Structure 1
Amino acid sequence: MNDSAWATVAELNQWLTQDSQLPEETQKILQILKITEEAGEVAEAVIGATGQNPRKGFSHSWEDVEQELCDVIITSMVALTRITPQAGQVFSDQLRRVRERALGPS
């Protein structure tokens, strides 16, 4: 993930928290729970893209699924930013560990 993406996430985090009266710890917890909400929207879009809800039929497209997946990623990035000021480095380190575990050392 490039620095520009993390800078945008920091701006979004600032915007989301600037007027909140909630304690910081509560904001962190709610942001983490928001990931689950967004994942549910991915599931809804997949069901809609495959026409699996008999009442709604084909209510979504695969482009909708793509957008919802991006929302999960962005929401997760904001949550990570709230937990650590080194979010970008934490993500890069974890991605490297997962890559090495799956594909071996580079």
Structure 2
Amino acid sequence: MTDLFDLAAVVTARLDAVNGRSREEIGLRILKVTEEAGEVAAAWIGAIGQNPRKGVTHTTDDVAAELADVALTALVAITSLDRDPRDVVTACVNKAAARLDTYSTTPPE
């Protein structure tokens, strides 16, 4: 199994080789996260059969796979910003953990 962070670096290097790393290219990589999130929404709509004309077209496995695409795409965008995604994700996790610690001792209003 390939390490997710290593894969993000490989994907970023390949995109750099093909498309370069201009400001516009980095912007497109960031916007790609939104595109992938839209695919999550479409899969969820398909999983719950929200569109009566189409009915149920996806499964929750499809939704989970699309969410994974969002995660990988976000890591590529972070790497494209010349940041170490391990550090960025760790900081995010620590911030969330600190909030949980706060909520566990002080009930939210």
Q: Shorter-chain TM-score category? A: 0.7 to 0.9
Segments of 4+ moved more than 3 angstroms: none
Amino acid at match of 2:80: R
- Partners of 1:18 and 1:91 lie apart in 2 by 25
Which has more radius of gyration? 2
Match of 2:61 among 55, 60, 63: 63
- Partners of 1:94 and 1:49 lie apart in 2 by 30
TM-score for the superposition, normalised by structure 1: 0.86
* Equivalent residue number for residue 14 of structure 1: 13
- Partners of 1:42 and 1:95 lie apart in 2 by 22
Q: Percent identity?
A: 38
TM-score for the superposition, normalised by structure 2: 0.84
How far did 1:4 drift?
Answer: 2.6
Gaps of 5+ in 1: none
- Partners of 2:34 and 2:54 lie apart in 1 by 23
Amino acid at match of 1:83: L
Aligned residues: 101
Task: Describe the SS at the equivalent of 1:54.
Answer: coil
**What is the root-mean-square deviation in Å for CA atoms of aligned residues?**
1.7
* Equivalent residue number for residue 33 of structure 1: 31
Gaps of 5+ in 2: 103-109
